[in-house]
């Protein structure tokens, strides 16, 4: 959270986290496509092969009011590939909330679990309390015929107590439900600090 009192702006950061190809960029693309241009900026995607350079997507939304301040939600994705750990750590810095995008395909559960574990490690390193930090879970690719049953997904990702959504982001299903719940959780958490 960063408040620019001069401009009356409340800057909030939400990171879409998860394994490679789970659908993080697809979420941002759908949000960008369906949000009126006066409420959003351009969708910026930075792609590089090198760990030293950041590799992410970025989209800014200006929606609602918090204590007379205009919230600017800065949405980021992280690169999912294991070797981009340093980028993920950097992108997570200063984040106010996370959307964890899990891939529902049975063959992707190990990647989901590894990604979930590294996310928790980064958050702990950065001094966050996992019990109170806003993490919203999106079980994506529910449209695929070999999607794991939801109960298996929940059990294998220790999401106890977390808000979870089913999604098919490529069709837009569940994308805005996930985003709204995350924005609300982030704003509720930030209000406690104001
Ligand atoms: N069937 C299906 N494919 C999806 C869904 N969401 C994303 N994809 C596809 O999965 C691939 C990876 O998505 P992308 O957003 O680039 O993943 P990222 O690496 O997490 O950013 C793309 O080909 C998407 O079109 C979904 O809900 N269902
Ligand atoms: Mg991506």
Pick out the chain residues at pLDDT < 70: 48-54
pLDDT at 54: 64
Probe residue for ligand 1, chosen from 20, 22, 23 as the CB with the greatest number of ligand atoms within 8 Å: 23
pLDDT in the model for residue 50 = 58
Q: For residues 5 and 76, what is the distance between their CA atoms, to the nearest angstrom? A: 24
| 131 Cα–ligand 1 center, Å | 29
120-150 as b/e: b if 16+ CB within 10 A: eebbeeeebeeeebbbbbbbbbbeeeebbee
Closest CA to 177 of 148, 144, 126, 142: 142
How much is the pLDDT for 56? 85
Residue 184 C-alpha to ligand 1 middle, in angstroms?
25
Any idea which fold 2-193 has? Answer: Rossmann fold (3.40.50)
pLDDT for position 48 = 65
Rounded Cα–Cα distance for residues 29 and 153 (Å) = 25
Ligand 1: residue of 25, 153, 170 to mutate (most ligand atoms within 8 A of CB) is 170
The pLDDT of residue 98: 98
| Ligand 1 atom nearest to CA at 171 | 27
- Whether 177 and 193 have beta carbons less than 8 Å apart is answered as no
Residues lining ligand 1, judged by CB closer than 6 Å?
18, 20-26, 77, 80, 140-141, 143-144, 168-170
- Ligand 1 atom nearest 80 alpha carbon: 19
Q: Tell me how far CA of residue 156 lies from CA of 20, 113, 149, 170, in angstroms.
A: 18, 7, 11, 24
- pLDDT at position 140: 98
**What confidence score (pLDDT) does residue 49 get?**
63
Query: What are the structural domain ranges in the chain?
Result: 2-193
91-129 pLDDT per residue, tens: 999 999 999 999 999 999 999 999 999 999 999 999 999
The model's pTM: 0.95
- Counting ligands in written order, the one closest to the CA of 17 is 1
The whole-number pLDDT of residue 127 equals 96
């Amino acid at each position: 959270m960063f408040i620019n009192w001069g401009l009356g702006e409340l800057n909030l950061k939400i990171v879409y986290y998860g394994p490679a190809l789970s659908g993080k960029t697809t979420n941002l693309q759908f949000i960008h496509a369906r949000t009126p241009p006066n409420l959003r900026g351009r969708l910026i995607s930075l792609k590089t092969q090198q760990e030293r350079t950041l590799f992410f997507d970025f989209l800014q939304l200006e929606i609602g009011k918090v204590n007379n301040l205009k919230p600017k939600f800065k949405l980021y994705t992280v690169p999912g590939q294991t070797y981009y750990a340093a980028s993920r750590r950097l992108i997570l810095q200063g984040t106010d909330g996370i959307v964890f995008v899990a891939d529902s395909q049975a063959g992707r559960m190990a990647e989901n679990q590894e990604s979930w574990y590294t996310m928790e490690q980064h958050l702990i390193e950065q001094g966050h309390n996992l019990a109170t930090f806003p993490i919203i879970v999106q079980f994506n690719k529910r449209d695929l015929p070999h999607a794991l049953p939801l109960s298996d997904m929940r059990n294998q990702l220790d999401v106890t107590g977390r808000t979870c959504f089913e999604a098919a982001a490529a069709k837009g299903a569940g994308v805005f439900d996930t985003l709204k719940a995350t924005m609300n959780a982030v704003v509720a958490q930030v209000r406690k600090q104001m």
